[in-house]
Amino acid sequence: MDNAVFRIEQLNFWYGAKQALCDVNLTIRPNQSTALIGPSGCGKSTLLRCLNRMNDLIEQTRVQGRVLLHEQDVYAPEVDVIELRKRVGMVFQKSNPFPQSVFDNVAYGLRIQGVTSRSQLADRVEASLRKAALWDEVKDRLHDSALTLSGGQQQRLCIARAIAVEPEVLLMDEPCSALDPVATAKIEELIQDLKKDYTIVIVTHNMQQAARVSDYAAFFYLGRLIEFDTTTKIFTHPANRQTEDYVTGRFG
Amino acid sequence: MELHFDQELTRLKEMLLRMAAMAEQSVADSLRALVERNEELARKVDADDAQLDRAEMDIDRVGIELIALRQPKASDLRLIIVAMKIASELERIGDQAVSIAHRAMELAKEPPLKPLVDIPHMAVLVQRMTHDALDAFVYAKPDLARSVIARDHEADQLHEQVRRELTSFMVEDPHTITRALNLMTVARKLERIGDHATNLAEDIVYLYEARDIRHQNEENPPHA
Angle between helices B142-172 and B118-138 in degrees, nearest 10:
160
Question: In terms of residues, how long is chain A?
Answer: 252
pLDDT of residue B3: 79
Give yes or no for A237 touching B (CB within 8 A). yes
Q: Partners of A172 in the beta sheet?
A: A91, A202
Cross-chain residue pair B3–A236, CB shorter than 8 Å = no
| Separation CA B143–CA B146 (nearest Å) | 5
Angle between helices B177-209 and B74-108 in degrees, nearest 10:
170
pLDDT tens track for A95-143: 899 999 999 999 999 999 899 999 999 999 999 999 999 999 999 999 9
Q: Which of B76, B152, B134, B23 is nearest to A238 (CA)?
A: B76
A-to-B residue pairs, Cβ atoms closer than 8 angstroms: 29
Cross-chain residue pair A235–B5, CB shorter than 8 Å = no
Question: Domain span at residue B112?
Answer: 4-209
Number of independent structural domains in chain B: 1
Nearest-Cα residue of chain B relative to residue A243: B74
Give yes or no for A238 touching B (CB within 8 A). yes
Three-class secondary structure of residue A138 per DSSP:
helix
Is pLDDT of B218 > 80? no
Is pLDDT of A151 > 60? yes
Is pLDDT of B99 > 70? yes
Mean pLDDT of all residues in B20-25: 98
The correct CATH number of A6-247 out of 3.40.640.10, 3.90.1150.10, 3.30.9.10, 3.40.50.300 is 3.40.50.300
Three-class secondary structure of residue A42 per DSSP:
coil
| B222 in a structural domain | no
Give yes or no for A99 touching B (CB within 8 A). no
Is pLDDT of A215 > 60? yes
| Separation CA A32–CA B42 (nearest Å) | 61
Interface of A with B in 206-225 (CB under 8 A): 207-208, 211
| B159 in a structural domain | yes
Mean pLDDT of all residues in A198-209: 94
Give yes or no for A236 touching B (CB within 8 A). yes
Q: Please, where are the H alpha helices in chain B?
A: 4-36, 39-70, 74-108, 118-138, 142-172, 177-209
Nearest-Cα residue of chain B relative to residue A212: B71
Question: In terms of residues, how long is chain B?
Answer: 224
Which of A207, A236, A250 has its CB closest to that of B210? A236
Nearest-Cα residue of chain B relative to residue A232: B74
Is pLDDT of A178 > 90? no
Is pLDDT of A89 > 70? yes
Q: Which of A200, A102, A82 is nearest to A156 (CA)?
A: A102
pLDDT of residue A252: 59
CATH code (residue B69): 1.20.58.220
Nearest-Cα residue of chain B relative to residue A236: B74
Helix, strand, coil percentages for chain A (3-state, nearest 5): 40, 25, 35
| B153 in a structural domain | yes
pTM for this predicted structure: 0.84
Q: Which residues of B touch A248 (CB under 8 A)?
A: 72-76
Cross-chain residue pair A237–B78, CB shorter than 8 Å = yes
| Separation CA B154–CA A241 (nearest Å) | 38
Cross-chain residue pair B72–A211, CB shorter than 8 Å = no
Q: Please, where are the H alpha helices in chain A?
A: 44-50, 81-87, 102-112, 118-131, 135-138, 151-164, 181-194, 207-213, 231-236, 241-247
| Separation CA A241–CA B184 (nearest Å) | 50
Q: Which pairing describes strands A33-37 and A216-221: parallel, antiparallel, or unpaired?
A: parallel
B126 neighbors B193 (Cβ within 8 angstroms): yes
pLDDT tens track for B34-74: 999 999 999 999 999 999 999 999 999 999 999 998 899 99
Q: Which residues of A touch B73 (CB under 8 A)?
A: 207, 211, 235-236, 247-249
| B220 in a structural domain | no
Which of B3, B5, B74 has its CB closest to that of A236? B74
pLDDT of residue B1: 57
Mark out chain B residues that contact chain A at CB-CB < 8 A: 3, 5, 71-78, 210
Task: Pick the residue of B1, B8, B73, B211 with the most A CBs within 10 A to test the interface with A by mutation.
Answer: B73
Q: How far is B68 from chain A (nearest CA, A)?
A: 12
Q: Partners of A224 in the beta sheet?
A: A221
pLDDT of residue B220: 73
Amino acid at A203: V
Cross-chain residue pair A237–B210, CB shorter than 8 Å = yes
* Domain ranges for chain A: 6-247
pLDDT band at A243 (very low <50, low <70, confident <90, very high): very high
Q: Which of A201, A148, A218, A246 is nearest to A30 (CA)?
A: A201
pLDDT of residue B199: 98
Nearest-Cα residue of chain A relative to residue B79: A236
Give yes or no for A249 touching B (CB within 8 A). yes
Is pLDDT of A2 > 70? no
So what's the ipTM on this one?
0.73
B204 neighbors B145 (Cβ within 8 angstroms): yes
Cross-chain residue pair B75–A208, CB shorter than 8 Å = no
Q: Which residues of A touch B75 (CB under 8 A)?
A: 237, 244, 248
Mean pLDDT of all residues in A87-100: 93
Cross-chain residue pair B78–A249, CB shorter than 8 Å = no
Share of chain B above pLDDT 90, in %: 91
Q: Which residues of A touch B76 (CB under 8 A)?
A: 248
Is pLDDT of B219 > 80? no
